[in-house]
Amino acid sequence: MGFIEEINKRKTFAIVSHPDAGKTTLTEKLLLFGGAIQVAGAVKSNKIKKTTTSDFMEIEKQRGISVATSVMAFDYGGKRINILDTPGHKDFAEDTYRTLSAVDSAIVVIDVAKGVEEQTEKLVKVCRMRQIPIIVFINKLDREGLDGFDLLDEVETKLGLSVTPLTWPVGMGQRFQGVYNIYESNLNLFDAHGKQSIGEVVEINESETDKLNEHIGEAATVELQEELHTISEIYDKFELSDYISGNISPVFFGSAVNNFGVKEMLDCFVEFAPNPLPRETEQRIIEPTENKFTGFVFKIHANIDPKHRDRIAFLRIVSGIFKRNTNYYHKRIDKKLKFSNPTSFMASKKSIVEEAYPGDIVGLYDTGNFKIGDSLTEGEKLDFIGIPNFSPEQFRYVLNANPMKRKQMDKGIIQLMDEGVAQLFTTYDTERKIIGTVGALQFEVIQYRLEHEYGASVTYEPLRIHKAFWIHSEEEKALEEFKKRRRRDLAYDKDGKLVFLAESAWTVKTIKDNHPDIVFHEKSEF
């Protein structure tokens, strides 16, 4: 198969959801369709179930397990599909944000009973920033839930997505009879007893009342016909180009655990979802079809064995062909590196890969050369953009508790930050170190890992900060004045970029009003 065919075959995406909506279950069903696994239950949940600090080791163990399921590749309908897993736990949301930089589309899973939940909102916001095409899967139709139209309204208002349903449920909960496939005009009948199997599909047009009556009964037929009529009046007809440009999201209904409505979505996914897309660098846009290999690191996973400080860096191939045992240029450290054991994650097993194509993800064993965002090329100096940091939600001063181990602490903190465990800020006037995280859990993770992997000991001091903003100004004088007046609220991030640490939402507003020449950014790239 030629290079271009290999690229066109690939679909790289992530499933995102609020914990418990059914992401793991859906992933598993997709893998079953792809033949990548044979039995249900084979996918280890990447979900961190317990969150108390005493369960910290358990969490690390689970994170270790999740390396194997970080990327799952399978073939379906002539396509090579790469699913990138994202941690469900909200304290690891930053991991998810970065993973989204390596995908070309996303599937959002929503629980029909709970509707749009907090974590879904945050994740979809990041998808939208990147204009990633999104498919919505409304799950758990075998349970009572919200009305279909109300749900679609909620998706539109809370997630800011324009939607068009491509399937529609016939009843729900006890009355759930199946889904009508608007896109293909057929009815997939649900059999509550036939778990894991695909229901009976009847070719039927919505206007064929008698046939519908026969299968779902009169009352349900009337309701379905009315609803389908409303859909045709309210929602735009699905246009592929609108989906690809991220302007419209097709919606599917089903029940992942019953493997119902999943195939409809998967079939549309392989037909519609984008092939590997170009990526931006500071220097130029890189097309996947370029002959020379380029790629970037979007995730680093530490080995859970503290005796081995090696890590796996996850590389997204952007262009060209990545080859084993070939020298590639690592721009940030200005060195050539070659990889003897690059790993692929085909069929949920790790194996050494000889070649990888745009859209693929390979795991590189790393002894500390990589940090998130690094680029590898055949020699060109490129800096990929689109892997920004977002403001942490919790901040604490970090203090050295063992003066004899300062060097170890400094090294450990830098390495953990390179892995993306948390963000480090250094205050502008006093050069104190602040660690910012998405959730409280990371503070425990950092403390534990510094001790066990680096022999260093730290404590924290609370700090009241609402949010970090990356700032800049076209007016040098205004910026200097701002620095003078707000020096106590300023810090540098790990790349030396200036950050304003706002104490409250109210401060942000007044400060913005008082300093119109200063631009406040919610992410580190602007």
Which CB, 256 or 382, lies closer to ligand G4P?
A: 256
Nearest-approach distance from CB 140 to ligand G4P, in angstroms? 4
Which CB, 136 or 499, lies closer to ligand G4P?
A: 136
Token pair of 230, please? 């409303």
Which CB, 147 or 236, lies closer to ligand G4P?
A: 147
Spell 273-309 as b/e; 16+ CB within 10 A means b: bbbbbbbebeeeebebeeeebbbbbbbbbbbeeeeee
CA distance 114 to 101: 28
Which CB, 34 or 261, lies closer to ligand G4P?
A: 261
318 phi and psi, to 5 degrees? Answer: -100, -45
Nearest-approach distance from CB 113 to ligand G4P, in angstroms? 9
Nearest-approach distance from CB 30 to ligand G4P, in angstroms? 12
- Report yes or no: 82 and 10 within 8 Å, Cβ to Cβ: yes
Nearest-approach distance from CB 340 to ligand G4P, in angstroms? 35
CA-wise closest residue to 9 among 73, 102, 100: 73
- Cα 173 from chain centroid? 30
Nearest-approach distance from CB 190 to ligand G4P, in angstroms? 11
Nearest-approach distance from CB 88 to ligand G4P, in angstroms? 4
Which CB, 8 or 255, lies closer to ligand G4P?
A: 255
CA distance 135 to 435: 35
- Report yes or no: 250 and 164 within 8 Å, Cβ to Cβ: yes
Which CB, 169 or 358, lies closer to ligand G4P?
A: 169
Which CB, 88 or 178, lies closer to ligand G4P?
A: 88
| Residues forming the site for ligand G4P (CB under 6 A) | 17, 19-25, 45, 47, 88, 139-140, 142-143, 255-258
Which CB, 125 or 143, lies closer to ligand G4P?
A: 143
Which CB, 23 or 396, lies closer to ligand G4P?
A: 23
Spell 103-132 as b/e; 16+ CB within 10 A means b: bbbbbbbbbbeebbbebbebbbebbeebeb
CA-wise closest residue to 203 among 218, 179, 187, 181: 187
CA distance 502 to 523: 14
Token pair of 295, please? 């790629």
Nearest-approach distance from CB 112 to ligand G4P, in angstroms? 9
Crossing angle of helices 441-454 and 406-419, rounded to 10°? 130
Which CB, 60 or 142, lies closer to ligand G4P?
A: 142
Nearest-approach distance from CB 24 to ligand G4P, in angstroms? 3
Q: ∠28-85-308 over CA atoms, to 5°?
A: 115
371 phi and psi, to 5 degrees? Answer: -135, 165
Nearest-approach distance from CB 256 to ligand G4P, in angstroms? 4
344 phi and psi, to 5 degrees? Answer: -110, 170
- Report yes or no: 2 and 72 within 8 Å, Cβ to Cβ: no
CA-wise closest residue to 164 among 100, 252, 84, 87: 252
Nearest-approach distance from CB 141 to ligand G4P, in angstroms? 7
Which CB, 82 or 258, lies closer to ligand G4P?
A: 258
Nearest-approach distance from CB 173 to ligand G4P, in angstroms? 10
- Report yes or no: 492 and 425 within 8 Å, Cβ to Cβ: yes
